[in-house]
Structure 1
Amino acid sequence: MNTLNRRDWLAHAGLASASWLATNAWAQSTWPNKPLRLVVPFAPGGSSEIVARAVAAEMGKGLGQSVFVDNKPGGAGNIAMQEVANSHDEHTLVLGHIGTLAVNPFIFDKLSYDAAHDFTPITLVSKVPSLYVVHPDLPVKNLKEFVAYAKSKPGQLNYGTAGNGSAGHLAFEYLKMVTETFVLHVPYRGTGPMLTDLMAGRLQASAAGAPALIQFIKAGKLRCIATGSSTRLSQLPDVPTVAEQGFKGFEMTQWYGLMAPSKWAKPNLAKLELEAVKAGRSALVKDKLAADNALAIGSTGAEFDAFIKTEQARWKQVIARAQIKPEGV
C-alpha cells in the first residue's frame, strides 16, 4: 500500500489548508449569496413595517441581494427574536426596537434570547415620535381635556396597544404616570388590529408611532390630542406636544434598529453594517421616513450599542414604577 512520507503529507496538508482558507475567504467575499430576510416582530400595519421596508429596499442595492420583510408577531416580539438568534444561515436579521431590546429584559423573568449577547447591533435606523390619539366621539379635544375626563371616570376608559411591553404600551403608561390618571390597558397582537377596534369605537384611546397614525388623523378617523415629540410635527402643526400642555420635559419616541446574530462571521457583520448605515443615511430613506414623520438616523453599530444601554437604564425605572408585566402574569 502506498503511503505518504512526512514531506508529502505536510505538502498535502498545506494545500488542503490553503484550499479551505481560499474557499472560506471566497464565501465571505461573496456574502450575501441569496436574498436576506428581515424579520419584523409585529403584525403588518404599524410603524415597524414602514421603517423596515424603507431601509430594506435601499440596503439591498448596496448588498447586491434583495432584502425582504417578514412579519412574525407574537410573544411581545420574543418569538421573532428567538428565531433569528437561533438561525444559522447568516442571511436572517431582525428589526430590534424599544420593546424587544430595552423593555422585555426587565418585564420577563426569563427570555429565550439574550439581547446583549445573542445579537450584534448594526445600526439605529429610525426614531419615531409617539402620538396620543382618541376616537373622535370622545368629548375631548386636547390632552388637558382628556386628563380631566379620565380623572372624572377612573378605570372606565381604555386604551389599546400593539401588545404588552410594546412602544405604545410604554408611551401610554409613561403618560399615565406623569398625569396621574387611571386608564385600562387592552393589548393586541399588533398595531393594525388595534387600530381597527379603535376606529370602530371599541377602544377610546391609544398611543402609537406617527407613521401608523397620520393618515387616519388626517382622514378624521382619529383625533390626535398630543405628540410625544419635543417639538410640534410639520404634518400636525396645530397639535401641541405633551410638554406644551403642562408636562414640562416630557418626550416619548419609539426607535427601531437592525440586529444580526452575533455568531455571524465578523466580515459579514462589518459588510452588513457598512451598507445598512449607508442606506439609513441616504436621501431616499430620509425622505421616505420624513413623509411619515419618522426621523432617519443611520448610526454606527457602536453608537447603537451605547444607545441601547442608555435606553435600558431609562426604561428599567419606568417599568418598575408602572409595574408593567408580560401578558398573563
Structure 2
Amino acid sequence: MKARRQALLAAGAWGLASALPMAARAQGNWPNKAIRFVVPFAPGGSSEIVARSAAVELSKLLGQSVYVDNKPGGAGNVAMQEVARADDLHTLILGHIGTLAVNPFIFDKLPYDVNRDFKPVSLLAKVPSLYLVNNNVPARNLKEFVALAKARPGQLNYGSAGNGSAGHLAFEYLKMATGTFITHVPYRGTGPQLTDLMAGRIDAAAVGAPAVIQFIKAGKLRCIATGTAQRIPQLPDVPTVAEQGFAGFEMTQWYGVQAPTNLPAPALELLASACAKAITAPAAMDHLSKEAAIAVGSTPAEYARFIAQEQQRWKPVLARAKVRPDN
C-alpha cells in the first residue's frame, strides 16, 4: 500500500483519474467530509461557472461532496478573510486576479495577506478580455484605434464596471502598453456600461468574453482585439493585441483554488492533482468553452509563480492609473 501511495503521488496532476478516491483515503483520511468551495462574488458570471464546473468533477475524484458557497462583499475581501481563518481543513476559496493581484495594491490595509495566509493549489481557468468599440468609432482594429487616440488625446473615453474592476485594469494596461490617453468612465456594473457602449454614449471598453460574445456576433459591438496570447475559437478573425504590434501583451481574467495555510502538504498535493484533472475533464471543458473560458490546470508551484508574476505586472499599472477601491 505504501509503494502504491508513493506511485500515485509521483504521477502528479496528470495521472490520477479513477485512483484519486483511493488516494484520498490514503492521505491521512483527507478529505473525510464535504468540502466547502467559497466564491467571493455574487452568483452568476464566470466565477461561478468555473467554480461549479470544477466542483462537480472534484466531487467524483475526491469521493466527497464539493459544494460552492457564494459569499460576496468588499471586493472579495470578506470571503478571503473568512477562509484565511478557517481551521477545518475542508474550506477552499476561488482565487481571482482581483483578490490576489489587485486588492493588495489598492487597499491601504487588508485583514489577510494573500501570500502568507493562503496556499496556491491550482490555476483553473482564464477568461479572455475583449477590447471593444461602438459601431460609430472610426476604427476597425487596434492599430487604427491607437492612432485615433493619439490624434485626439483625452477625447476618447472607455467604460468599466467600476474602479478596480477587471475591465478598468484591462484598459489601463492597454493604455500603458500603447502610450495613449483615454478617459475612464466608471459604471456600477457591466450591464449599464454595455448599454451605454452599444448606444454610443461611450467609445470603448474591455469586457470579459462571456458577457459580450453574443453582441459581437450580432453586430452590435465591434471587437478590435483580444487580450489573449492566441486568438480565441469563438472569434477566429479577431487578432490579439500582441499580433497588432504590442508583443508580449496578455490580459485575461483568471481563476484558481487557494487553501488556508494549515492544509497539510500531502492533502495539498492530492487536491492540486485532482483540480488539474477536474478542470480538464470533458464535461468541465464543455461548460467552459461555452463561456469562451480556457481550462488550465497546474501544480501548486506553477500557480504560485503565476500569481507572483501577475502581482508584479499589475503593481505598476495600478500605481500609474491611481486605482482606488469604490467607497
**3-state DSSP of counterpart to 1:103:** helix
Q: 1:78 to 1:37 in 2, by over 3 A?
A: same
Moved more, 56-65 or 194-203: 194-203
SS in 2 for 1:50: helix
CA distance, structure 2, for counterparts of residue 38 and residue 190 of structure 1? 25
Whether 1:60 and 2:69 are equivalent positions in the alignment is no
Question: What's the counterpart of residue 221 of structure 2?
Answer: 222
Aligned counterparts, 1:1-329, within 5 A: 29=29, 31-34=31-34, 36-151=35-150, 153-188=152-187, 191=190, 194-195=193-194, 198-199=197-198, 203-328=202-327
Q: Distance in 2 between matches of 1:121 and 1:128?
A: 19
Question: Is this contact kept in 2: 1:172–1:206, CA < 8 A?
Answer: yes
**Pair 26,45 (structure 1): closer, same or farther in 2 beyond 3 Å:** closer
Flag the 1:230–1:302 CA change in 2: closer, same or farther, 3 A. closer
For 1:9, the equivalent position in structure 2 comes to: none
Contact 2:146-2:178 at 8 Å conserved across structures: yes
Q: Judge conservation of contact 1:138–1:204 (CA < 8 Å) in 2.
A: yes
Aligned residues: 303
Q: Give the AA of the match of 1:295.
A: I
Please report the TM-score for the alignment, with normalisation by the length of structure 2. Answer: 0.79
The percent identity for this pair of structures is: 66
**Pair 313,184 (structure 1): closer, same or farther in 2 beyond 3 Å:** same
Q: 1:197 to 1:84 in 2, by over 3 A?
A: farther
Q: Is the 8 A contact 2:121 2:299 kept in 1?
A: yes
SS, match of residue 121 in structure 1: strand
**2:30/2:267 contact within 8 Å kept:** no
Contact 2:27 2:267 in 1 (8 A): no
Structure-2 separation of matches of 1:321 and 1:200: 30
> Structure 1 residue 251: deviation in Å?
2.3
Amino acid at match of 1:31: P
Seen in structure 2, the aligned counterparts of structure 1 residues 287 and 320 have a Cα distance that, compared at 3 Å, is same
CA deviation after TM superposition for structure 1 residue 325, in Å: 2.9
Conserved in 2, the CA contact under 8 Å of 1:45 and 1:212?
Answer: no
> What amino acid sits opposite 2:180 in the alignment?
T
The structure 1 segments of at least 4 consecutive aligned residues displaced by more than 6 Å after TM superposition are none
SS in 1 for 2:235: coil
Q: Tell me the distance in 2 between the aligned counterparts of 1:228 and 1:91.
A: 35
Q: Which has the larger radius of gyration?
A: 1
Equivalent residue for 1:5? none
Q: CA deviation at 1:139?
A: 4.3
CA RMSD in angstroms comes to: 3.0
Residue number in structure 2 paired with 1:20: none
* Letter matched to residue 112 of structure 2: Y
Distance 2:187 2:28 in 1: 41
Q: Which amino acid aligns with 1:254?
A: Q
Matched position secondary structure for 2:41: coil
Contact 2:84–2:118 (CA under 8 A) maintained in structure 1: yes
* Distance (Å, rounded) in 2 between the aligned partners of 1:186 and 1:74: 23
CA contact (8 A) 2:39 2:69 kept: yes
Unaligned runs of 5+ in 2: 1-24
- Alpha-carbon distance between aligned partners in 2 of 1:310 and 1:270, rounded to the nearest angstrom: 22
Q: TM-score, length-normalised on structure 1?
A: 0.79
For the residues of structure 1 that align with 2:48 and 2:195, how far apart are their CA atoms? Answer: 17
State how far apart, in whole Å, the 1-side matches of 2:262 and 2:189 are: 29
> Contact 2:36–2:69 (CA<8 Å) still a contact in 1?
yes
Query: Quick one: structure 1 residues 231 and 30, their matched pair in 2 at CA, closer, same or farther if it must change by over 3 Å?
Result: closer
Runs of 5+ unmatched residues, structure 1 = 1-24
Tell me, in whole angstroms, the C-alpha distance in 2 between the residues paired with 1:184 and 1:267. 50
Residue 198 of structure 1: CA displacement?
Answer: 4.1
Give how far 1:42 is off.
3.1
- Offset at residue 327 of structure 1 (A): 3.0
After superposing the two structures, state which structure 1 stretch, 306-315 or 285-294, moved more: 285-294
Whether the 8 Å CA contact 2:38–2:93 is kept in 1: the answer is yes
Q: 1:254, 1:153 → 2: CA distance?
A: 29
